[in-house]
């Protein structure tokens, strides 16, 4: 498709962004309500940028290494155990948000995210992340949450069950909010 044809297409990204923000708000609301005072739930609206790449963006107020911005981080304060949270929403009944979420399973990304988040700097030398509060990223590493009409469709329910087999993933359309928070709590406390 050429530039002229692309410019005439409807801009679906703004609506999708709004839908995603609502899902994130729902997911973090669940976690904040059910986890308790021993946990910090930080969202991408606060600060979760993890500078894992070597490219330095100098055209910013403060030069910043490029990286990923997980939707959130949950930290158990007494133990320093943490986990990244990725929330994907689909309202249109189709899409590939769940496939894009798989980037966190790439070995290089995983190693660097854990290195930077735990401030070990064995791979990359970066400034202190999350005020040094994260001492360990748990084995589960990322918790995925899916919401919206797309992920209520049997076709997509089947896909996420296969793609995220043996991972901590939840479908906010069906899973109990208490179950989600309790399983995350248990994983972070152990």
Residue 107, domain member (yes or no): yes
Q: What is the CATH number of the domain that holds 49?
A: 3.40.580
Tell me the whole-structure pTM to 2 decimals.
0.82
pLDDT tens digits along 69-124: 888 889 999 999 999 999 888 876 667 888 888 898 999 999 998 998 898 878 88
Residue 133, domain member (yes or no): yes
- Which pLDDT does position 90 carry in this prediction? 82
N- to C-terminal Cα separation, the chain: 51
Nearest to 146 by CA among 103, 180, 104: 180
- Which pLDDT does position 12 carry in this prediction? 52
Residue 3, domain member (yes or no): no
Residue 4, domain member (yes or no): no
Residue 6, domain member (yes or no): no
pLDDT tens digits along 12-58: 555 556 656 666 778 788 888 889 999 998 876 555 678 888 888 88
Residue of 24 and 187 predicted with greater confidence: 187
Residue 8, domain member (yes or no): no
Residues 6 or more apart whose Cβ sits within 8 Å of residue 91: 16, 19, 148, 149, 150
Domain that residue 97 falls in = 13-189
The Cα–Cα gap between 115 and 113 comes to: 5
Half-sphere exposure of 161 (CA within 13 A, CB side): 10
Residue 1, domain member (yes or no): no
Residue 7, domain member (yes or no): no
Give the 3-state secondary structure of residue 153.
coil
Q: Is the pLDDT of residue 179 over 90?
A: yes
Residues 6 or more apart whose Cβ sits within 8 Å of residue 63: 56, 57
**How many domains, in total, are found in the chain?**
1
Q: Which two tokens stand for residue 37?
A: 């005072």
């Amino acid at each position: 498709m050429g530039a002229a044809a692309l410019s005439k297409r409807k801009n679906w990204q703004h609506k999708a962004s709004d839908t995603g923000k609502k899902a994130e708000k729902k997911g973090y609301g669940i976690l904040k309500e059910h986890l308790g005072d021993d946990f910090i739930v930080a969202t991408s609206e606060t600060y979760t940028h993890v500078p894992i790449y070597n490219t330095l963006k100098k055209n910013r107020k403060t030069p910043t290494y490029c990286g990923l911005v997980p939707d959130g981080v949950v930290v158990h304060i007494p133990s320093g155990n943490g986990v990244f949270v990725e929330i994907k929403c689909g309202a249109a009944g189709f899409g590939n948000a769940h496939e894009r979420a798989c980037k966190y399973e790439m070995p290089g990304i995983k190693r660097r995210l854990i290195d930077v988040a735990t401030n070990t700097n064995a791979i990359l030398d970066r400034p202190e992340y999350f005020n040094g509060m994260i001492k360990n990223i748990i084995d589960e590493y990322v918790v995925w949450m899916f919401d919206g009409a797309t992920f209520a469709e049997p076709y997509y329910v089947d896909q996420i069950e296969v793609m995220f087999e043996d991972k901590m993933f939840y479908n906010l359309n069906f899973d109990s909010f208490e179950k989600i928070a309790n399983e995350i709590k248990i994983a972070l406390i152990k």
